[in-house]
Structure 1
Amino acid sequence: MNRQAFIKKWTPSPLTLILLGLVAYLWFRPPADVSDENRIASPWQVTLTDGRALTSDSLKGKVVLVNFWATWCPYCRKEKPVIDEFWRDYQGRGFEVVSISIDDPPEKIAAWMQDKDYAFMAAPTSPSVADAFGSVQSVPTSFIVDAEGHIRHRIAGQVHYARLKELVTPLLRASTR
């Protein structure tokens, strides 16, 4: 095989290059966008997958990660083990997670959580949650709520352990004073 034939055989088409670039971008997406907020969330309530009602008032005194997700979302699936690990490490210090599915029924959420062995709270969305946090346009999107019920941070995109630690631990220290 001559040199020109070899080069022609192994030169990718423009479409292949575009697809490889798209895969690389989606796999190595830029980090999540974090915005500082300082607003009081209106009272909200969800029905957990086990049928219990959970209200925002019952979480007062805790720092809470409210995580909007969907079972079909690959980035949501990738961040859940991180959220679970952080929750297990910090729940004894006053940290809680409420995982709100944007479109799945309670039975599907419960089965998915059980299959993955996640023990933090999960629920389908509700109108009061949408009112309290605003319209979530993309998943994953998370909010960090301080012990007094103020929304302190909005995370648009996948969360990472180090980022959670950076955002949550100062709020945990402040809530114990």
Structure 2
Amino acid sequence: MFKSYLLRIIIFGFLFVCRPAYALELGQVIELGQMQTLNGGTFSIPANNNKHTLIQVWASWCPFCRRQNGYLEEFVKRIPKNSMNIITVSIDKNAQIAKNYMTTHGYVFEAAMMSPELKRSIGKVRGVPILIILDKNNKVVYQEIGEIFEEDFVSLERFAK
């Protein structure tokens, strides 16, 4: 009897304490706002945007992110210059750690820290890396949570026009 009562309390508690997970969906509009980049500049999608935007969420401590950032670096070098808006977003707790990571690896792509606007748009980050591609109207047209590989980046070249 006590076990049954305890089980009911636990289930009831979970129903009211646990919030549903917010998942990013295809077609969802993402508002980035203006983001301060790690190199001191700013990144924002122009009002008259006519390009796709690639957003990659990463962390310096993530081995999968390290590998995927290398693939992204090669992707950036392969596609025509200025054919996409590209920003990567670190979820590290400290911006200096993210800056050091970018410098150590010699990455040339833009990087920023997670912004409140982006966090509201994509929801809770439950794993990294995350790769998102937006169309010219900031709608999600591609998303992948977890590592993607070099051949996957080749298929993403279709978004660079």
- TM-score class, shorter-chain normalisation, is 0.7 to 0.9
User: Closer, same or farther in 2 for the Cα pair 1:96/1:87, shift >3 Å?
Assistant: farther
Match of 2:88 in 1: 99
Give distance in 2, aligned partners of 1:43 and 1:91: 23
Match of 1:109 in 2: 98
Give distance in 1, aligned partners of 2:72 and 2:156: 13
**Considering only aligned residues, what root-mean-square deviation do their CA atoms show, in Å?**
2.3
2:92 counterpart of 1:120 = no
Gaps of 5+ in 2: 1-23
Q: CA deviation at 1:97?
A: 2.4
2:139 counterpart of 1:150 = yes
SS in 2 for 1:49: coil
Give distance in 2, aligned partners of 1:135 and 1:36: 13
Q: CA deviation at 1:50?
A: 1.9
Is the CA contact (8 Å cut-off) linking 2:45 and 2:85 kept in structure 1?
Answer: no
- Give TM-score, length-normalised by structure 2: 0.75
Match of 1:70 in 2: 59
Identity %: 22
Is the CA contact (8 Å cut-off) linking 2:79 and 2:157 kept in structure 1?
Answer: no
- Give TM-score, length-normalised by structure 1: 0.69
Q: CA deviation at 1:90?
A: 1.0
> Aligned pair count?
138
Is the CA contact (8 Å cut-off) linking 1:48 and 1:122 kept in structure 2?
Answer: yes
Match of 1:85 in 2: 74
Q: Which amino acid aligns with 1:141?
A: I
Give distance in 2, aligned partners of 1:104 and 1:43: 19
Gaps of 5+ in 1: 1-34
Please identify which structure carries the higher strand content.
1
Match of 1:172 in 2: 160
Q: Pick the structure with greater CA Rg.
A: 1
User: Closer, same or farther in 2 for the Cα pair 1:108/1:59, shift >3 Å?
Assistant: farther
Higher deviation after alignment, 39-48 or 107-116: 39-48
Q: Which amino acid aligns with 1:94?
A: S
SS in 2 for 1:148: coil
